[in-house]
A and B are shown apart, each in its own frame.
Chain A
Amino acid sequence: MRSYLSAPLRVDLNLTSRCHLRCKYCYASAGGIRNETELSISDLEKFFIELEEMGVFRIQLAGGEPTMRKDFPDILSLLEKFKFSVSLNTTGLFLSKDVCKRIAKGNFELVTVSLEGDTAELHEKIKGGKSFPKAIDAIKALKNENINTAIGITLNSFNIDSIFRIIDLVRTLGVDLVGIQVLCPVGRLSENPDLVPGNKRYTEFVTHLIDYQTKNPFPKVNLNVTNEGPVYWEYYFPLQQLGKIKQLKKIWGQDIKHDEKEISCVAGISVCSVGADGEVYPCEMFISDINMSAGNIRTKNFKKIWGKSEIFKKFRNLKKSNLTGPCSLCKYRWCGAGCRAAAYYMTGDLNGTDKHCYYAQSPKQ
């Protein structure tokens, strides 16, 4: 069994599955009215006490749109009682000046506003609704309160040619960080496969990004991927194609271990996610799949769920020697087998292949 921590380092907490928007890539397939009972303030208080006792460092509030909850100000008050660090992912639709003032009082380390385009037309083509002006207003309101603010962009075939214009736009707004999320084929994205940019466009983009970062150190730009391993194929293959693989450490801060023996997926090892109804999942990519629930915090102690659930045991027992398909034949021993959620949803098997990986699509042994 892979060793796991006594408590997660980070817990992603979906406060609601409701959302006014219908983003085409949403991993949680959020939106509309769900037939679920959201965790109450007293449920959350009990949960937070347990997280603090266990030593969880960071809670990431997500959804759905977390700020849609009418009691969101009460949740902010509750969070002020705890030491752990908090971050928030939001569309910005309901981030009023008052809410921003409350956020500024708490232990928030980062608020990330989702921004998919440099124009209303592009942003709303991907996210739906009249959401662009509100996202921009939310960024301004956050910065006005001196809150550490990021924008989250999902890298997709609609906006891949506009990313640098988006970064130029938010630089003028004083945004501290840009997180570019590489898509994972789960949730609503499985109905919109045309959103995934192909290998060629992705590699060209990464080439430009490396160049851009060298010339523009602010804001900091992170390329985020779902497989939190020692080396990400999303970083490795573009650099390999550019003949710059020796600069992996310098550019992305990753070191190649030539004989990585373990699966690198951190789901159930150092992170987990909790749905709006209290179901606990190995990571946020499984959050729309009740079959992957490890238990519910309303009926079970979280510490027990973390330590004893059968679902988490499955993740902790993942082994490279049990992999199937191209992943089992891969010659790149530094890889921790990519994203297990991608593998699971593309093959139906947790030990399957992350077919999202360019090498797995056409392996040359």
Chain B
Amino acid sequence: MVPINIAIMPKVQNNNLFEIGSGRNRILYRREGEGYCVYLCNQMKFYFLDKISGMLFLNHMNVLIRNEVEREINKTLGYTIEPSTFEEVKKQYLKELPEEFHLLFSH
């Protein structure tokens, strides 16, 4: 009889925990309802971001590509962002995030 090796696949489907970076400065995030929930490990603090703020934040952290964010803004807010104004819109949204995020951006 030929032995059959059954590979046990790690159970990772539908995983809702994502990380950015490593070590003490890691950021964890997950989808929560329509928006995002973010955990700054070095601050040990949780934050809730609405969908657009969350997507712009993730784009800023190089996790989401710009096209995806633009598409979502178009769908959610009902208007198209011109490529030339995207960075300006993002800057304004990021300004509104809690001050702990600003510390993150300054590093």
List A residues at the B interface (Cβ < 8 Å): 5-7, 9, 49, 52-58, 83-85, 107, 109-110, 148, 270
CB contacts (< 8 Å) of A49 on chain B: these are 11
Q: CB distance A85 to B41 under 8 Å?
A: yes
User: Which bucket holds chain B's interface residue count?
Assistant: 20 to 34
Q: CB distance B28 to A110 under 8 Å?
A: no
Q: How far is the CA of A337 from the CA of B105 in the complex (A)?
A: 37
Q: CB distance B19 to A53 under 8 Å?
A: no
Q: CB distance A83 to B11 under 8 Å?
A: no
Number of A-B contacts (CB under 8 A): 56
Q: CB distance A83 to B39 under 8 Å?
A: no
Ranked nearest first, the 3 interchain pairs of A and B with the lowest CB-CB distance are: A55-B30, A55-B16, A57-B39
B46 CB-CB contact with A under 8 Å: yes
List B residues at the A interface (Cβ < 8 Å): 11-19, 24, 26, 28, 30-33, 37, 39, 41-42, 44, 46
Tell whether A109 pairs with B30 under 8 Å between CB atoms, given A49-B11, A148-B24.
no
Q: CB distance A84 to B16 under 8 Å?
A: no
Q: How far is the CA of A56 from the CA of B32 in the complex (A)?
A: 11
Tell whether A53 pairs with B15 under 8 Å between CB atoms, given A6-B32, A9-B46, A109-B41.
yes
Tell whether A55 pairs with B31 under 8 Å between CB atoms, given A85-B26, A85-B41.
yes
Q: Which residue of A lies closest to B22 (CB)?
A: A107
Tell whether A84 pairs with B32 under 8 Å between CB atoms, given A53-B11, A58-B39, A110-B44.
no
- 28 A-B pairs in the complex with CB atoms less than 8 angstroms apart: A6-B16, A6-B32, A7-B30, A9-B37, A9-B39, A9-B46, A49-B11, A52-B15, A53-B11, A53-B13, A53-B14, A55-B17, A55-B32, A55-B37, A57-B39, A57-B46, A58-B39, A83-B17, A83-B19, A83-B28, A84-B28, A85-B26, A85-B28, A85-B39, A109-B41, A109-B42, A109-B44, A148-B24
Q: How far is the CA of A9 from the CA of B16 in the complex (A)?
A: 12
